[in-house]
Amino acid sequence: MRVPGLIYSDSNLFPDIEKDNSCDQVYNVAHLPGIVNMSIALPDIHWGYGFPIGGVAAFDLNEGVVSPGGVGYDINCGVRLATTGLSRDDVTPRIKELVDSLFSNIPCGLGSKGKIGLNRRSLTEVTKFGARWAIRQGMGDESDLERIEDQGVIESGESASISDRSFERGKDQLGTLGSGNHFIEIGFVSRLFDEKVAKSWGLYLDQITLMIHTGSRGFGHQICDEFLSRMIKSVGKEKIDLPDRQLACTRLNTPLAREYLTAMAAAANFAFANRQILMNMAQDTWERSMGLSPHELKLHLLYDVSHNIAKIETHCVGGQPNKLCVHRKGATRALPPGHSLLPSFFAHTGQPVLIPGDMGRSSFILVGAKGSMEQTFGSTCHGAGRVLSRNEAIRKTKGRSVEQELLNRAVYGRSAGRKTMREEFPEAYKDVSAVVDVVQKAGLARKVAKISPIGVIKG
C-alpha cells in the first residue's frame, strides 16, 4: 500500500460492509501509483468494479493515474431534486394518477428508447454543451444551470475519441430513465433539521418534491467498457503493477488518459442533458395529469449532483494547493460555505447534497461542511448503499409482492418489470438514516431535511 485505507462507518453499519469484498477494494486502490493521502470509502460502501462503490481517491497529475473503474460504467450517474409549490395534501389523493402518467410518458427499463432521435451531429452537440443543449431546445430555463454541478457541462468534453458504437447506443437514449436503481420519485419534506438553511433554499414541511436518479445510459457504459479494454492492454507497457486487473488504468500524463478524460466528460454532459430533459418531461406530464399551470405547480430545480466522475480539482495537500485528479465512484461532492466554485446563492450555506435512500423509506438533503475539504477531497456519501446483491434480493423476495408491501408503507410504485422491484426492495439497502448520521458526525456534511416518498417509478 502506498497510502492507508480509511473507511467511514460505525459499529452498526460495519458488519454489513464486511459481508462483501469492498474492504479489499479499498486496500487495492491504495496500491495505485500517485495516490494522495488516503484510499477512502464512505459509509454507503459496497462492492463495485475495481474501486468500491462509495470510494474516493485522488491522484497526483505527474505520477498518478486515471482508472475507469474509479468512475464506473454509468458515467455521471447523479441525482436531481426539484421543489414544488404543492403540499402533501394536494398530491396524495391523486398519487396513483400522477405516477401512472409519469410511467406512461417517460421511457424506462433496460434498453428503453426516447422520443428525442439524435444524429451524430446533434449528439456531438449534446456531448459538448450538456444541460445547456437541452435548455436551448426549450427544455428548461437558463437559470437552471447555476443549480447544476459544473453549471451542467464539463468543458473538456470532446467526441473525437468516442467510437461509432458508443454513438449508436446513445442516439436513442436521451430522455430515458434506464433500469436498475434509476428512479423518479415523488416525495414530501417530512422533517427539517436546519430551518435556516432550509428556508434559504425554499424548503418547508409537507412540501412536495421531485427526485430524478439516472446517468449517461448505454452511451457512458460503452465508453467505459472500451477504455477499460484499452487500459488493460496498456498497463503492461506502462509497467504498472496492479493487485486487481479491474483497476486497469493509465498515467495521467499519457495521450490515452487525455482521450479517456475527454470522452468521460462527453458522457457526463450527456447525463446532465438527460436529467434536464427528464425534469422537463416530468413537469409537462405533472401539469397535464393534475390540470395545473406552471405557476400553480412551481417546479423549481434545487440542485443536480454527480456521483460517478473523475475531475481535475485543486486541493490542499501538505499545506500547499495541488491539482489532483479526484475519482468519486458512488460519492458526491460536498462543498462547504465560501468555496470558490459555489454560485452566489449557495455561497453562505454551502452546496446542497442529495442523498437518496430506498424507495420505501426516506432520502435526505444535506449541506456541504468544512470537514469534507479537510478529510475527503470535498466528498461525502451518495446514497444508502446496497447490502444485498441483486440475485440475493430476488431470492429474498420470492413469492412476495413488493408493490403491495410498498402500498402498505403508503408508497405507490410502478416499474418496467416485477424483477426490478424485487431487486430494489427496501431491505436490499442500508438504512440511509444511519449512513447520513455517520457523515454528519464526521463533519463531512450536515442534515438539512428529510424527504419521505409517496410515489416512485423504477426502470
Domain-embedded: residue 109: yes
Q: Which domain holds residue 270?
A: 74-318+330-458
Domain-embedded: residue 69: no
Per-residue pLDDT band for 276 (boundaries 50, 70, 90) equals very high
Domain-embedded: residue 174: yes
Residue 412: predicted pLDDT: 96
pTM passes above 0.85: yes
Mean pLDDT of 161-182: 93
Domain-embedded: residue 2: no
Q: Is 7 left (phi over 0), alpha (psi -120 to 50) or beta?
A: beta
Residue 115: predicted pLDDT: 81
CATH of the domain at 444: 3.90.1860.10
Q: How far is residue 9's CA from residue 81's CA, in Å, rounded to a whole number?
A: 26
Distances (CA, A) of 97 to 44, 49, 81, 86, 189: 34, 39, 21, 16, 21
Specify the number of domains making up the chain: 1
Burial 60-95 (b: 16+ CB within 10 A, else e): bbeebbbbbbbbbbbbbbbbbbbbbebebebbbeeb
Domain-embedded: residue 32: no
**Tens digits of residue pLDDT in 397-450:** 999 999 999 999 999 999 987 788 999 999 999 999 999 999 999 999 999 999
Percent of residues, the chain, with pLDDT higher than 70:
100
Distances (CA, A) of 379 to 62, 66, 185, 265, 343: 23, 18, 24, 19, 18
329 against 157, higher pLDDT: 329
Q: Residue 110: pLDDT above 80?
A: no
Q: Residue 165: pLDDT above 80?
A: yes
Q: How far is residue 101's CA from residue 131's CA, in Å, rounded to a whole number?
A: 24
Domain-embedded: residue 359: yes
Per-residue pLDDT band for 109 (boundaries 50, 70, 90) equals confident
Q: How far is residue 80's CA from residue 450's CA, in Å, rounded to a whole number?
A: 15
Mean pLDDT of the chain: 95
Which residues does the annotation mark as catalytic?
A: 382
Domain-embedded: residue 212: yes
Domain-embedded: residue 149: yes
**Tens digits of residue pLDDT in 291-309:** 999 999 999 999 999 999 9
**Tens digits of residue pLDDT in 365-397:** 999 999 999 999 999 999 999 999 999 999 999
Mean pLDDT of 254-261: 97
Angle at 413 between CA 178 and CA 204, to 5 degrees: 95
Enumerate residues 6+ apart whose C-beta is below 8 A from 323.
61, 312, 313, 314
Residue 200: predicted pLDDT: 97
Percent of residues, the chain, with pLDDT higher than 90:
92
